[in-house]
Amino acid sequence: MDTWPGDFVSFFELHDKFWVAFGTLVIALFTIVLGFATIFMWRATRKLVISADRNAERQLRAYVFVNEQRLSNVVVGQRPKAQLLIRNTGLTPAHNVVTWLGITVANYPLAKELREATQEYLKTSSRRIAGPGSAFGTEVAWEEALTAQHLSMLANGTAAVFVWGEITYTDAFGCSRTTRLRSYYGGDTGMRDDGYMTDDVDGNSAD
């Protein structure tokens, strides 16, 4: 007579503690695996959310740049004056917009560092809000008048009128942004009749 089922049951009854321990171990291992899987999914979801937030911020934030720049009064006895049109090309307003500009006549290529905006100036200068798509103008004039020698050097490419500065602002997401600019008139581009200036290869950046 076949007694295998009975023997099998007896075997489990004799080793019930082992099977209870084994089952507990399997459940514990499954719980650990499930925990790691949950952490992995949470981290992956978190990365996706952060990436989506950053992409949305890049698409919506303010971008304040120089849109147009011209130089006038390029004649003997006059102080050359740069006029800049600055535009917010982003989709949200730029707050606390402060613009600082410098202008000088110097040898071309530029052989010395140009001074930077002082913190005192930035603290006391006027601030504005630039709405999305809006533009505003600003200008700066050289403190000296041009001489015949200046004009000769501008014409032969050994000098240029350099204009440089910073635009600082806060975007809609509370981040401080800075646009640095530098352009010139003369040098290797000559004296253009329309007064348009050329962006320098250095000194232009934005964050």
The pLDDT tens digits for 135-188 are 999 999 999 999 999 999 999 999 999 999 999 999 999 999 999 999 999 999
User: Which of the two residues, 113 and 103, has the higher pLDDT score?
Assistant: 103
User: What is the tally of structural domains in the chain?
Assistant: 2
135: number of CA atoms within 13 Å, CB side?
11
- Identify each DSSP E strand in the chain by its residue range: 64-72, 81-88, 94-107, 128-130, 135-141, 159-170, 176-186, 198-199, 205-206
Q: How confident is the model at residue 15 (pLDDT cuts 50, 70, 90)?
A: low
Same domain, 88 and 55: no
Same domain, 53 and 80: no
pLDDT, position 9: 58
Same domain, 83 and 170: yes
Let me know if 5 is exposed, middle or buried by CB neighbors in 10 A (0-12, 13-18, 19+): exposed
Same domain, 110 and 55: no
Query: What residue numbers bound the domain in which 145 lies?
Result: 64-206
Same domain, 144 and 199: yes
Q: How confident is the model at residue 31 (pLDDT cuts 50, 70, 90)?
A: confident
Same domain, 91 and 163: yes
Same domain, 111 and 36: no
- Confidence (pTM): 0.77
